[in-house]
Amino acid sequence: MVDQFSPTPLYVQLADLITKRIESGELQPLKPLPSELRLQQEYGVARGTVRAAIALLRQRGLVMTMPQRGTYVTESRGDA
């Protein structure tokens, strides 16, 4: 869960939590991320926080967003 009182911004905490889910294999390559609404409800954060976290995941190269189709986990780069 995200820590509302942490000095780390909520969106960074959320991106880190989703990253761990990707790395553990819970969120599989080429499969969609849960919806923004689902992530909001699951982590108790605002829509803007979810969108900022997804943008950070895109910058990290962990997800790709396809307009009108959703956001998907990228394929593993094999550098693990």
Indicate the pLDDT class of residue 34, thresholds 50, 70 and 90. Answer: very high
Q: What is the mean pLDDT of the chain?
A: 94
Q: How far is CA 17 from each of CA 4, 67, 74, rounded to the nearest angstrom?
A: 14, 24, 16
Q: According to DSSP H, which parts of 4-75 are helical? A: 10-24, 36-43, 47-59
In this model, does residue 49 exceed pLDDT 60? yes
pLDDT at res. 77: 58
52-64: average pLDDT: 97
d(CA 44, CA 69): 24
In this model, does residue 41 exceed pLDDT 80? yes
pTM reported for the whole predicted model: 0.91
The CATH number of the structural domain formed by 10-73 is 1.10.10.10
> Residue 71 phi/psi, 5° resolution?
-115, 130
Name residue 36's amino acid: E
In this model, does residue 29 exceed pLDDT 80? yes
Domain ranges of the chain: 10-73
